[in-house]
Structures are given as C-alpha cells and as structure tokens.
Structure 1
Amino acid sequence: MDNHKFAFIICSNNSIMLNECIFYIHQLIIPKNYDIEILTVKNASSITSAYNEAMVSCNAKYKIYMHQDVFILNRNFLNDALSIFLSDPKIGLLGMVGYTKISPDGIMWHIPRCGNLYLSSSAPAVPYPPLDTYSYSLEQDGYSSVALIDGFLMMTAYDLRWDEETLTGWDFYDAFQSINFLENGYRIAVPTQLYPWCLHDSDHFNNLIHYDEFRQCFKQKYHSLLGKNINEIVESMS
C-alpha cells in the first residue's frame, strides 16, 4: 500500500462528462511528496462491482470514489481531506454531505443533513433537498461525525469490500458502505465547507428505478439502526 498516493475511481458511461470531471481533478493542488492516479471503469454491471474491481487493482491508500458528473471545485481538496484523515486514524471515510441519523424509512434526504454542495441549474428538486435546509458545521476541528454519507463522492483511508452480492445495481451502495465502516470501528467525517468543495452536475436519476428494492434490503439488514443517531449507533456496535 502506498501511503502517499491518492486514486480517483470513476464509473463512466459518458466520455464528455468524464473528461470534464478529470479536467477538474487535474487542477487540484497535490500535497508535497504525494502522487495521484485516475482509474475509470466503463460498462460496469453495478457500481459495487466496479468499485471492488478498481479497489483491488490499486495500491493507493486514499481512494476517492466519485460520480463522473462531480466536479471538485476546491483546489486544495486533497490537502484539506488529508488533514482530516491524519488528525485521527479512526476516520476511515469522508464525504461532502452526510447525515448524523439514519432515517426510519431508510431514505437519507428525509432527515437533516450537514455538509455542502453546488447543484447544476438543471438538477431536479428530487431527490436533493433545498440547500437552505442544510445545517452547516462550525466545529473547531473542521468536520462533523456522521452515520451516513451521500455517494456522489466517498473518500476512504482503508479498503473495505463493497457489497456487490446484495447491491447488484446503482443504489444504496453509499448507505451500506457507510455502515460497513462503522461496523469495522471507523469514523465517518463530513468537512466544514463554508463554500462547497464540489458541484454535482446531475440532471437525471434514471438509476432510481430500483431504488426502493435496495431500500428494502437496507431496512431489513439494518432494521435495528433505523431512527438512531450516530452516538446510539456507535454505542450499539461497541
């Protein structure tokens, strides 16, 4: 494992969108003595299988799993994220938008959230809630500890396998993987972002067609955690 390397892992089915995503990655400031690489997976059968394939083929300690329609605007993204990981080795997962509680119905955006992001003007009202409903962390340490993060960008410091047996499509991988990290004793962080670090240029949600199927899987597997906040979840796992 190369502790001084970042890997950007992107599933893609649109070369124009992918190229723009990569353009923003190339504008980032790379921390001194660190390297980056970009891995793209095309024509994947599921997002979990694609992420597992890329994960095992890559020796970078820090992996950024992201959608092809996410553009990183914070040029100091890598330094800022690295400082959070280095502040506590128990932090294993980092996202831009998170939730301190698991919704009783399993739907992330039905509960208050923290973090920040920009959306394109063409983005639909659903599933994303209005930005003025976000709660912004002003904690001194620069991040909030959460139970779940949104999957448009998920950065890891440790490799945990994605559940491709259960999740054979493109939904709920973020919720399952968040709980996976908590079950393995890691913390999940969402940085304080006075200005959003990323823009999510998503204008359709065709893959939500199987969303409810995997929501039911999530509710069945983690029924004991539904409605609990992060402190209650950690206590139940200890």
Structure 2
Amino acid sequence: MNEDAKKIAFISCVNDEEMYAECVRYLRHLDMPQGFSAEVVPVRGAPSMAAGYEAARRASSALYKVYMHQDILLTEKSILRRMVEVFHANPAVGLIGLAGCRHIPADGVWWESKECYGSLWHVRHPEAMELMQKRPVPHVGIEVDALDGIFLATQTDVPWREDLFDGWHFYDLSASMEYRRRGLRLMIPYFEKPPCIHETGCKRLDDAWEKTRQIFVAEYGREL
C-alpha cells in the first residue's frame, strides 16, 4: 500500500459510541496542517488494544497515524501542526506522546519513574476535573524512554505486539520498547497548556494488569 504523506489517521478502539462521538467532535475542530487531510478510523470489536491497532495500521494508507483512547478530548488546536513539525525536524523520532518518563523502572510501572513529564486534565467524576501535572516539558520538547497510550502519534510503522499483549494494558510500553529497539526516538512536545482532557472515570488496576506487567518485564526487563 502506498503511503499518503499528507494524511493523518486517527485510530481508536471503540466500545462506547457516545464517548467516541465526543472525541471525534473535538478532532473536527483541530487546526489541520496546510494541504493535509484527516481519516477517522474507529476499530470496533477488537479483542485487544494491540490487535485493534495492528489491524488499523495495516489498513490505513496514512503516513501519520495517531493512536488515541476513545475518551480523549484534544483541546490544543495546534497539536497536529506541532506533531508534523517535530516529525519533519527529527526523522529519527518514531513516536510522539503527551506524557511519559525518561527511564522505565525495573517493574515496568512508568508513572513511578523519578522523571515523568507531561500534563493533562483528568475527569474521574462528573463535573470534577483535576490536573495531572508531571515535570514541565522544556520548550524544545523532551526525549523519553516510554510514552503513555492515551495519545501515540507515529511517522514510522512498527507492528503492535498482539502476539504478547492480548488485553488492554502495557501495549503502549511495549510500543515504546519496539520503537527503541529499532533505533527510533520518543518525544513529548512542548505545549503552553495541558493539550487534552482524559475522561477516565474510576478505574482500578486488576489481575489482568498485573499479569500483563509480568509479560512486559519478561520480554523487555533486560533492556530497562
């Protein structure tokens, strides 16, 4: 399939149509880089995040792909222009995100790293929004070892490890490691304000999360 260098695909695994519709409404209001087109790619009925993303990756002709949660509202209108600018200026950057860490702890829990970066708004309860504020990102952006999966933008295709991660956890840390294995860099761009709202609700870590964490450490632990 020939890649379209002027197309951006927005890829999401969807199981909540109302939430996803709101996500798409925000996408429609983003400033598009001149000459670019957008493609919205919902993946319904995916058996896992990695499997859904991999199917969409193979099906899309867009050079730039944005893998994002269905519950993310992108409020920074310039985010796509900034994304393309970073990719154009840094051909070795394979993955761009909004939050992440400089060094992944040995247990694979990225947010427990001593150097976490990025900021965004969390909505855990109706009408209750709180700021998740990590270290401020420098104006030139920051290179990191791992990115959170709420928003992952690519300019280079790397397969998602659906063979290892058959659920909804650690697909993002796996992607971070797979890009790094190929010598590609991970970046968080600078934004003056938090660039998105994450409508998380109340979510707890469960047995599936712990099982997947152990799979991640078994596969990548020696590289951390």
Task: Indicate yes or no: 2:132 matched with 1:131.
Answer: yes
Q: Do residues 181 (structure 1) and 185 (structure 2) align? A: no
| Residue equivalent to 1:110 | 112
- Structure 2 distance, partners of 1:144, 1:2, is 28
Match of 2:11 in 1: 9
**Unaligned stretches of 5+ in structure 1?**
124-128, 227-238
Larger mean CA deviation between 64-73 and 206-215 belongs to: 206-215
Name the TM-score, length of structure 1 as normaliser: 0.87
Relative to structure 1, is the Cα distance of residues 107 and 163 closer, same or farther in structure 2, using a 3 angstrom cutoff?
A: same
Matches within 5 A, 1:92-107: 92-107=94-109
SS of structure 1 residue aligned to 2:54: helix
- Kindly tell me the number of residue pairs found equivalent between the two proteins: 218
Distance 2:123 2:131 in 1: 13
* Contact in 1 for aligned 2:53/2:160 (Cα 8 Å): yes
Q: Determine the structure 2 residue equivalent to 1:195.
A: 193
Name the residue aligned to 2:52: 50
| Separation in 1, partners of 2:166, 2:216 | 13
Given candidates 143, 150, 156, the residue that maps to 2:148 is 150
Q: For residue 192 of structure 1, report the CA deviation from its aligned partner.
A: 1.4
1:121–1:47 distance in 2 versus 1, CA, 3 Å: closer
Aligned-partner Cα distance in 1 for 2:33–2:18:
28
Q: What is residue 91 of structure 2 aligned with on the other side? A: 89
1:59 corresponding residue in structure 2: 61
> Counterpart in 2 of 1:169?
167
Report how far residue 166 of structure 1 moved. Answer: 0.6
Give the secondary-structure state (helix, strand or coil) at the position aligned to 1:93: strand
Compute the displacement of 1:138 (Å).
2.0
The answer to whether the Cα contact below 8 Å between 1:171 and 1:207 also exists between their aligned partners in 2 is no
Q: Partners of 1:79 and 1:167 in 2: how far apart?
A: 32
**How has the CA–CA distance of structure 1 residues 207 and 170 changed in structure 2, closer, same or farther, with 3 Å as cutoff?**
farther
Q: What's the CA shift for 1:207?
A: 7.4
Structure with the higher strand share, 1 or 2? 2
Does the residue aligned with 2:193 lie in a helix, a strand or coil?
Answer: coil
Q: How far does residue 118 in structure 1 lie from its aligned partner after superposition?
A: 1.0
Q: Which amino acid in 1 is paired with 2:198?
A: H
Counterpart residue identity of residue 78, structure 1: L
Distance in 1 (alpha carbons) for counterparts of 2:124 and 2:46: 28
Distance in 2 (alpha carbons) for counterparts of 1:121 and 1:193: 23
SS in 2 for 1:222: helix
Q: What is the RMSD of the two structures over their aligned residues, measured on CA atoms?
A: 1.6
Greater Cα offset, 97-106 or 208-217: 208-217
Give CA-to-partner distance per residue, 1:141-186, whole Å, 9 cap, x none.
x210000000011111111110001101000000000010011111
TM-score w.r.t. the length of structure 2 is 0.93
**Counterpart for residue 211 of structure 1:** 209
